[in-house]
Amino acid sequence: ELPPSEFMQVADSTWLVLSVVSNGREPPGCQATGVTKIARSVIAPLAEHHVSVLMLSTYQTDFILVRERDLPVVIHTLAGEFDIYKEEGGECVPVTSDDVSNGFLKPKPSASPMLHPVQSPQTRFCVLTVAPDTLPAIATMLIDVLFYSHSPPWDAATGSQDLDSITFFSFSLIEGYISIVMDAETQKRFPSDLLLTSSTGELWRMVRIGGQPLGFDECGIVAQIAEPLAAADISAYYISTFNFDHALVPEEGIAEVIQLLQQRQESGR
């Protein structure tokens, strides 16, 4: 419904959401499965079959977005390990590989995905949620942060931002659940009694993937981060964006994460 604009760039694909649960299809018995737990069973196999994904973590769960045209490959790839359902009229309906795989051709092996540089700014982040009925109380502040906060200085010599610190603010509203990621300094501007976080109140550090906008035709970017973290049993909060991919990890684990990713880079050369 948004009017065409020279200021708005739109990807040329329609995306579908995959929600991975650990206990069947009935909502009351389902437990959302985090990005680290599905690194080997979902993310890595899709990368091997050259499926590009967008990853979106929220306060409540994690979602994988795949291009609609890749759906036959996705189902063919995952059907051996997962029961797959689609939602029709609010009901979960089983999907078999035969339903969507007419004419499906298994992709030919290709070169390993490119390993992109990983940067880690010093900024400390909070992962929060807010009750929908209290949203009006912070609406003005949200608008101010979203549209009027200043970005880090742009370095004309290198053509990049100063990543000693980074301005990053994420707001998602999915099925009535609100998730917010903001830096610890920005959090101080909001009423503390309205923002909910985990009981530990832990802070997170970020690793950002890509030295330039990544596009959507490349695969294996999420796997580049998720696989080594899964092997080390390190939890992550992952956000793909139009230009870059971002993984948040608990602050106390950032040194180990950087070491793991550097080792991955060196072994891939």
Please report whether residue 105 resides in a domain: no
Query: Which tokens hold the place of 92?
Result: 């979960």
- Strands 177-183 and 170-174, how do they pair? antiparallel
For the chain, what is the mean pLDDT? 80
More confident residue, 199 or 73: 73
More confident residue, 24 or 209: 209
Long-range contacts: 255-263, Cβ < 8 Å, 24+? 256/232, 257/120, 257/205, 257/207, 257/229, 258/118, 258/120, 258/207, 260/228, 260/229, 260/231, 260/232, 260/234, 261/118, 261/207, 261/224, 261/225, 261/228, 262/118, 263/228
Nearest 5°: CA angle at 44, between 112 and 37?
A: 150
**Please, are residues 34 and 41 in contact by the beta-carbon 8 Å criterion?**
no
CATH of the domain at 81: 3.30.70
Please report whether residue 7 resides in a domain: no
Q: Range of 141's domain?
A: 116-150+159-266
Residue 242 and residue 123 share a domain: yes
Please report whether residue 102 resides in a domain: no
Residue 140 and residue 52 share a domain: no
Please report whether residue 6 resides in a domain: no
More confident residue, 102 or 231: 231
Residue 138 and residue 20 share a domain: no
Report the percent of the chain where pLDDT is more than 90. 25
Residue 241 and residue 125 share a domain: yes
Please report whether residue 4 resides in a domain: no
Please report whether residue 2 resides in a domain: no
Residue 125 and residue 48 share a domain: no
pLDDT category of residue 205 using cuts at 50, 70 and 90: very high
Residue 145 and residue 228 share a domain: yes
pLDDT at 25: 45
Residue 171 and residue 123 share a domain: yes
Residue 244 and residue 135 share a domain: yes
Poorest-pLDDT segment among 26-35, 55-64, 113-122, 206-215: 26-35
> Cβ neighbours of residue 132 under 8 Å, at least 6 residues apart?
176, 178
pLDDT at 103: 47
Residue 102, pLDDT above cutoff 50: no
Please report whether residue 169 resides in a domain: yes
| Total domains in the fold of the chain | 2
Residue 120 and residue 77 share a domain: no
Name 180's bridge partners: 128, 171
Nearest 5°: CA angle at 134, between 128 and 139?
A: 80
Residue 126 and residue 74 share a domain: no
pLDDT digits (tens, 9 = 90+) for 232-261: 888 889 998 887 889 999 999 899 998 888
Residue 210 and residue 128 share a domain: yes
Residue 188 and residue 200: Cα distance in Å, rounded? Answer: 17
Poorest-pLDDT segment among 5-14, 80-89, 127-136: 5-14
pLDDT digits (tens, 9 = 90+) for 29-69: 344 446 777 888 898 899 888 888 989 998 888 889 999 98
CATH of the domain at 182: 3.30.2130.10
Residue 225 and residue 192 share a domain: yes
Please report whether residue 192 resides in a domain: yes
Residue 208, pLDDT above cutoff 90: no
Q: Which amino acid is at 134?
A: T
Residue 84, pLDDT above cutoff 70: yes
pLDDT category of residue 137 using cuts at 50, 70 and 90: very high
